[in-house]
Chains A and B, each alone.
Chain A
Amino acid sequence: MLGLQEYLQSYHSYPAIKIVEWEEQEGLVDVPPRDLPEILSYCLDIRPRPIWLTHVVNDERQLGNGFCVYLVLHFPENDFSLTLVAKGIKDQFPTLSVIFPALNWSEREAQDLFGLQAVGHPDPRSLVLHPGWPLGFHPLRKDYKAGEEHKEFVRAPLVFPEMRGDGIFQVSVGPIHAGIIEPGHFRFYTLGEAVLHLEAQLFFTHKGIEKLLEGKSIEEGLHIIERVCGVCTVSHSLAYCAAVEKLASLEVPRKALLWRTILAELERVYNHVGDIGNMCAGVGLALGSANGSQCKENLQRLNLEFFGHRFLRGMVVPGGMKSIPGAQGSQAILNRLLGLSDDFEEWIPLLLGHEGFRQRAVATGILKTEVALDMGATGPTARASGIPIDWREFHAHLLYPELNVKAIVKQDGDCWSRLMVRVKETRESFRILNTLLREAMKGPEFDYDKPTFMALEEVKRMAPAWGCVESPKGTDVIWLMLDDECRIYRCRIRSASYANWPVVPLTVPGNIVPDFPLINKSFELCYSCCDR
């Protein structure tokens, strides 16, 4: 990234830009807050376009840095990640959402949780904290200690835009939905059956996990991180462990990397299969939903049998794996997976050849490529809109470089494309699992040592680190900073759902209300890891 480094070095500003760290794969640069927009626009003009990993606001007033904004960008060409740090923010910072709309939610979140003002933000409504909290409640400031504020929460109306005209109706749905689904409020502005506009009000399950994590030890943190999202447990814990391992300069043995990759792929398979089934449930196609849920159940039973948990919790630990199955176990897993893969290939053609289903899914809920790029979409959502981003391909981690993973891309951006991306990725994951398990079978029985307890003296304190993993829903990023006692100082969880939720309402206008369940399920986003 020679050009970028030279640009930053020659950038005239006061105080000057400080390049704190510049290595082959990562850079950390101090930037004055007011110059952040210009530098970000320069970065966004670089081709291939960088992707955003995370945007973190941190209260470093105790360190004399004021509030800080960390923006992590990844340049796919050289697998280089740049962290731009804007220190010394007092009560406001210039907005970046106008240049890069992907940061819209992050900045609104910072306004709510830190009480900072994003100057020039196009939509400064509150996001994470619903109206009804006491005034001046900014829980992520360091001087706030969890208190009784939740008892003072009063009922207050949510704020929605007005829309008037002949025949325009508002249809409000939620937060409690009919079915076993997570809570969120959707407001459709309709003209007849066609949707003109959709507003999604999420964050009903906001619990305050990021604040809860502060002051926790690394192990306690892992325990909570695993439970941020029910179905992306492995991805979240892998991302967290990657951040911890970066701070502690831990080397993970190859055998553990192998099993971590297997776990990540097992998670992808059971999620994708379940999601394909759920898409069918969205249009009431019992054939697909029954087969999908049955296949998912069998995969989860496999998880339980060989890893002790249906959602694979408790397996990944900093430095390695808690335990791994031996050669015989690997053989057994492989045999089961081969059976399930055959089962998958048997029922998936029934679905793909179903003309009624096809007609519902094709050209429904189109996400345009430009929109997906600007809004920073990730995962199958982005790949179905013609954007070839896959963290497994972009960044050398786990055993992915050896497996030659390529992003599976579809161009149309409709529900059908998102379905097809999932179908192909499932096949690809079965193939990857096959290769990996064959390698695992070669290893001798029980030659694995559990990672020893980390030497805390060597862990970097007060330094930022991030970990990143491609979850079934997209790239999960966990940003971590430890304090002087090696406890968590700030942990920011940017899940794939958080990055993808803002695009969902944009794909609905032009479709009819009954198509919304299908569109929503084609994204299959999680509310919990978005709301945290």
Chain B
Amino acid sequence: MLNMLLRKSKMGRLTEKGRNSLLLQTSADLPTCFRQSLQIRHLDCGSCNACDWEMTALSNSLYDHQHCGIDFVAAPRHADLLMCTGTGSTQLLNAAHETYEAMAKPKWVMAVGDCAVNGGVFKGAYASEEGIGEILPVDFKVPGCPPTPNDMMKALLQVMGKKVS
């Protein structure tokens, strides 16, 4: 009972957390139940496709995210973490919001790639935001153009509170 209350209070704090906290500060805050498995939903918000391909590469036999308990799911309802790529293109905003809203709490958002972090080279384009942070509450950021699968794997393991060499 006490444990559950503790967890609940922790979850509440996590979901109300500030928008731009850094990766390392929050990773220890994750409830322990997510340390064994993490279900991810990918959301392309206007990327150039490079980040997405690197994310796809996580599933090949050389990285094999599934042996770390990480999996990509088809529906946002099943997801704990939303991995967003791209600058946040205007014509996708509604769909992006809906995807985020469809996720069950507790939920986290990870901005993957320079574009998602701050707009990258596309800063100032007329049909795009300057990063996902402008439209969704970002918890974790993984910079890089694109971040390599290694970077992503490390970030995900850190999010789960696992040791990363």
Contacts and interface: CB of A to CB of B under 8 A. Distances in A.
Contacts of B3: none
A149 to B, nearest CB: 7
Contacts of B36: none
Given A176-B99, A179-B74, A230-B47, A208 B91 contact: no
Contact of B127 (A183, A207, A224, A290): A207
Contact of B89 (A206, A211, A227): A206
Contacts of A347: none
A130 interface: yes
A209 interface: yes
B45 to A, nearest CB: 8
A206 B86 CA distance: 11
A206 B127 contact: yes
A270 to B, nearest CB: 10
Contacts of B126: 139, 144, 146-147, 149-150, 208, 211-212
Interface residues of B, number: 46
Interface in B35-68: 42-44, 46-57, 59-63
Most buried by A among B75, B145, B148: B145
A175 interface: yes
A304 interface: yes
A290 B72 contact: no
Most buried by A among B42, B74, B89: B89
Interface in B118-133: 120-122, 124-129
A285 to B, nearest CB: 15
A204 interface: yes
Nearest to A149: B126
A178 B89 contact: no
A150 B74 contact: no
Nearest to B94: A155
Interface stretch (A255-263, A292-300, A317-325): A292-300
A300 B61 CA distance: 14
B27 interface: no
A218 to B, nearest CB: 15
Given A211-B125, A224-B122, A181 B48 contact: no
A28 B32 CA distance: 68
A230 B48 contact: yes
Interface in A226-267: 227-231, 233
Interface residues of A, number: 53
Contacts of B125: 146, 207-209, 211-212
A179 B52 CA distance: 10
B46 A207 contact: yes
A290 B42 contact: no
A55 B31 CA distance: 55
Contact of A297 (B57, B90, B120): B57
Given A153-B91, A180-B42, A310-B148, A528 B127 contact: no
Nearest to B128: A207
B127 A208 contact: yes
B28 interface: no
Contacts of A233: 50
Contacts of B89: 204-207, 531
B93 interface: yes
Interface of B: 42-44, 46-57, 59-63, 72, 74-75, 86-87, 89-96, 99, 120-122, 124-129, 145-146, 148
Given A223-B121, A230-B52, A304-B148, 8 more contacts: A176-B96, A180-B56, A180-B72, A205-B47, A228-B48, A293-B59, A298-B62, A311-B146
30 contacts: A132-B91, A139-B127, A175-B95, A176-B43, A179-B74, A180-B72, A182-B44, A183-B95, A205-B47, A205-B86, A205-B91, A206-B90, A206-B127, A207-B46, A207-B89, A207-B128, A208-B126, A212-B122, A212-B126, A227-B48, A227-B121, A227-B122, A230-B47, A293-B59, A294-B60, A310-B54, A310-B146, A311-B50, A526-B49, A529-B48
